[in-house]
Amino acid sequence: MNDPSSQLLFVHAVGEMNALGAERQQPERGILEVASISSKGLIKRLNLSDGRRLEVHRFACVGEGDTVIARGDGALSVKTEDGEVTILPHYKSVVEFDAAQGRKLLLETQEITLQAHFEAYASLSQYHYRNQNSFGRRAILLLVCRDLDFPRALGFVEITTAFINLKNRSILFDAPFESEPGRCVKWSRWDKETRLERINTIARISRIVVHPEVRGIGLSRVLIGEAEKFCRERWNVHGQRALFLEITADMLKFMPFVHSAGMHWIGDSSGNRDRVVKDMRYLEAIREHHQNHWINRHEAKGIASKQRQDIDKIIALKEKFEQDGHDIFLQLSKVAQGEEEVGAEIYEALESLVRFPKPTFLKGLTRRADAFVKGRCVELGLDYVYRESERNTVPCSSSLRIRELNLSFDIDTGSLGTSGPGTVRRAFGLSRQFSFRTGIRDLTVEVSPGEICYVYGSSGSGKTRLLELISRRGDLGGVGTTTGSVLIPNDGRFGFLEEEWPNQPLLSAIGAGDLNEGIEALNVAGLAEPRLYLSRWSQLSAGQKYRAQLARLMCSDTNVWLLDEFASNLDNSTALAVGRNFAKVVRKRGIICFIASVRREPLINAVAPDKVVHLDQVVHPVVSSNWQDWAGN
């Protein structure tokens, strides 16, 4: 793979080394308060109240004002209101993951402690497009794999401090809650005082990124599971441990993986659509006439920094809008309300000022906390329904049947005389006319709607010819000699991979009925990358073009799919992900599907075909209804 994040050099150190290359200093035994912190590279220095200094990894969950407990054996923990939380040794977890039937991977999740880890994180970060600056505490968990068929860095999840004001969360939390015995968290109302006091019991997933070549096989759920485990065991802010984990993001409208990972939808965030004009008018006046206001303090961070950037943008654009005869606040109101009459240039200029409602998902990290969330969702009628696109493809009314099919070729070389080809013909004892048989010999197989037939064999064994015979109902138009029959259902409609493409973004070019269907088809085809949604056919690599063809096929109303050289130009990890998800679509929609390939692994595990046809140029074909027995698994 040419992707930078798939070619990262990883150093798996024998001993734990810090980012500066020196062995970490063992903390001495004692209980001390952190007076201040400083950071350099991947090292966070804890300046303790007795003048000593400890070094931990940059994103360790410890900060100024925390009480740390050093054991003297290299172990370090933080004292919280609910007991101790481990800081050292750093977090590390190993899980076994089913990438496909019969294909297990050992995945390792760990905090970033090495420079190679940080470089992997930085490379993967390019696939997250909201370059918002994190605030407060931050932890990063990197998911790695040592299987050579897969990228080394598979993804990461970033955890940060939660926003204080989130309206839908405040509504959900505004009811009596009490944590388990031994945990001292309780409230009767989630009012302003409680929010300020207990906001640190909530951890927030600020970013979750999976390597683009392995999306769609469930790695996001693995990362969420690791985030839950980490937050349950290690996350703490100002002496409070996490009881809840939340995520708010636009992408969740199209990718419902957090719900399948056990998180609960608590409504959409309110955004600022209804008040953005009022806020900008107010901040404009403050920015110009009140220099001591917080909006004018450059040390302000988080939402204050964002609002200062927004109002500076308004001030910078206002004169230009007036010169063009536009009221900037009127145009901003139209953008916020989604009015179609707004020109593309104006929309692009102002869209970043509007925060549209985003889905929010939340999960309790203890039994009582999660029961509280689920109970409140029921009370408030928050029933999450992800509306998958529904292409109403009508399956074939009967099976596709091949009976005692044979294909051979009669060759007449013509008069060759003393030419080179003639010399070869004489040397091997060939006559002017001769025949040869393909691997299609007395072939009988039946494929029903919703089934996949995997046609396997070496090059020249007859795989392509078999697909041609099916598409032409057993007649190659005089090319070759055929016997037997190919019975296609009367309502069968063939689907192939298209070669002619319109000059449009893929999201439009694949012919989807709506936005959801287009994104789902591209995701299933292994193009789950926003930049690729908007790319054109001419800008794609050969492997990406093949996957775009699959997406376009899935957006068609055909019900018999014939795919030659399936995933032949895809690497193993991508082929596995694409094959697994494509097979799900075939079965869900009742497609009759023939897949031809010279590859066995990992495709056979990913597709898990219902029938296997193994063609051989020498012996009769093998037809099996048990792919695992055929593959020797």
Question: 402-421, pLDDT tens digit by residue?
Answer: 999 998 877 767 777 767 77
The pLDDT confidence band at residue 466, using thresholds 50, 70 and 90, is very high
Q: Which two tokens stand for residue 327?
A: 């009221």
Q: Is a pLDDT exceeding 80 seen at residue 201?
A: yes
> Residues for the chain: how many in total?
633
Residue with tokens 């190659």: 476
Helix residue ranges per DSSP H, 399-557: 420-427, 463-471, 506-509, 515-524, 530-533, 542-554
CATH class of 390-493+557-633: alpha beta
- Helices 515-524, 572-589: inter-axial angle, 10-degree rounding: 130
Check residue 20 and give its pLDDT: 35
Cα distance between residue 550 and residue 540, in whole Å: 14
* AA letter at 22: A
Check residue 633 and give its pLDDT: 60
Q: Which two tokens stand for residue 513?
A: 């009925």
92-270+358-379: what fold? Aminopeptidase (3.40.630)
Write down the domain spans for the chain: 30-88, 92-270+358-379, 276-353, 390-493+557-633
Cα distance between residue 337 and residue 339, in whole Å: 6
The residue among 284 and 225 whose pLDDT is bigger is 225
Q: Is a pLDDT exceeding 60 seen at residue 5?
A: no
* AA letter at 519: I
Which are the contacts of 228, defined by CB distance < 8 A and separation ≥ 6? 245, 363, 365
Q: Is a pLDDT exceeding 50 seen at residue 486?
A: yes
At 516 the three-state DSSP class reads helix
pLDDT tens figures, 153-198: 999 999 999 999 899 999 999 999 999 998 889 999 999 999 999 9
Check residue 347 and give its pLDDT: 87
Check residue 100 and give its pLDDT: 81
Q: Once rounded to an integer, what is the mean pLDDT over residues 363-374?
A: 97
Residue 55 is inside which H or E element, if any?
strand 53-57
Q: Once rounded to an integer, what is the mean pLDDT over residues 605-625?
A: 92
Check residue 300 and give its pLDDT: 56
Q: Which two tokens stand for residue 630?
A: 């055929």
Q: Is a pLDDT exceeding 50 seen at residue 146?
A: yes
Q: Once rounded to an integer, what is the mean pLDDT over residues 500-525?
A: 92
30-88: what fold? OB fold (Dihydrolipoamide Acetyltransferase, E2P) (2.40.50)
Taking a C-beta distance cutoff of 8 angstroms, is the pair 595, 452 a contact? yes
How many helices and strands, by DSSP H and E, does the chain display?
Answer: 19, 28
Q: Is a pLDDT exceeding 80 seen at residue 479?
A: no
The pLDDT confidence band at residue 304, using thresholds 50, 70 and 90, is low
- Cis peptide, bond prior to residue 212, ω within 30 of zero: no
Q: Is a pLDDT exceeding 80 seen at residue 57?
A: yes
Q: Which of 33, 74, 85 is nearest to 235 (CA)?
A: 85
Among 2-11, 45-54, 461-470, which is the least confidently predicted range? 2-11
What does DSSP say about strands 611-614 and 452-456: parallel, antiparallel, or unpaired?
parallel
Q: Which of 328, 395, 355 is nearest to 250 (CA)?
A: 355
- Cis peptide, bond prior to residue 602, ω within 30 of zero: yes
The pLDDT confidence band at residue 144, using thresholds 50, 70 and 90, is very high
Cα distance between residue 319 and residue 511, in whole Å: 42
Percent of the chain with pLDDT over 70: 89
Among 220-234, 424-438, 561-575, which is the least confidently predicted range? 424-438
Check residue 25 and give its pLDDT: 52
Q: Is a pLDDT exceeding 50 seen at residue 342?
A: yes
Check residue 368 and give its pLDDT: 97
Which residues sit opposite 54 in a β-bridge? 46
What's the Cα-to-Cα distance from 463 to each of 221, 274, 451, rounded to whole Å?
A: 38, 60, 18
Rg (CA), the chain: 31
DSSP for 224-243 reads HHHHHHHHHHT-EETTEE--
Q: Is a pLDDT exceeding 80 seen at residue 327?
A: yes
Q: Is a pLDDT exceeding 90 seen at residue 474?
A: no
Cα distance between residue 183 and residue 77, in whole Å: 18
With b for 16 or more beta-carbon neighbours within 10 A and e for fewer, the 218-245 pattern comes to bbbebbbbbbbbbbbebbbbeebbbbbb
Cα distance between residue 183 and residue 372, in whole Å: 15
Check residue 602 and give its pLDDT: 81
Q: Is a pLDDT exceeding 60 seen at residue 55?
A: yes
Check residue 19 and give its pLDDT: 38
Cα distance between residue 241 and residue 244, in whole Å: 9
Q: What CA dihedral angle connects 194, 195, 200 and 201, to 10 degrees?
A: 60
Q: Which two tokens stand for residue 36?
A: 């201040």
Q: Once rounded to an integer, what is the mean pLDDT over residues 341-353?
A: 86
Check residue 15 and give its pLDDT: 33
Check residue 56 and give its pLDDT: 93
Which residues sit opposite 613 in a β-bridge? 455, 623
Q: Once rounded to an integer, what is the mean pLDDT over residues 564-592?
A: 92
The pLDDT confidence band at residue 73, using thresholds 50, 70 and 90, is confident
Cα distance between residue 207 and residue 231, in whole Å: 15
* AA letter at 475: D
Q: Which two tokens stand for residue 121?
A: 């994180």
The residue among 390 and 606 whose pLDDT is bigger is 606
Q: Is a pLDDT exceeding 50 seen at residue 622?
A: yes
Among 352-366, 467-481, 613-627, which is the least confidently predicted range? 467-481
Check residue 439 and give its pLDDT: 85
pTM: 0.83
* Mean pLDDT rounded to a whole number for the chain: 87
Q: Once rounded to an integer, what is the mean pLDDT over residues 433-461?
A: 89
Q: Once rounded to an integer, what is the mean pLDDT over residues 269-296?
A: 79
DSSP for 411-465 reads EE----TTSHHHHHHHHTT--SEEEEE-S-SSEEEEE-TT-EEEEE--TTSSHHH
Phi, psi (deg, nearest 5) at residue 328: -60, -35
Q: Is a pLDDT exceeding 50 seen at residue 6?
A: no
The DSSP 8-state label assigned to residue 137 in this structure reads: -
Environment class of residue 16 by beta-carbon count within 10 Å: exposed (0-12), middle (13-18) or buried (19+)? middle
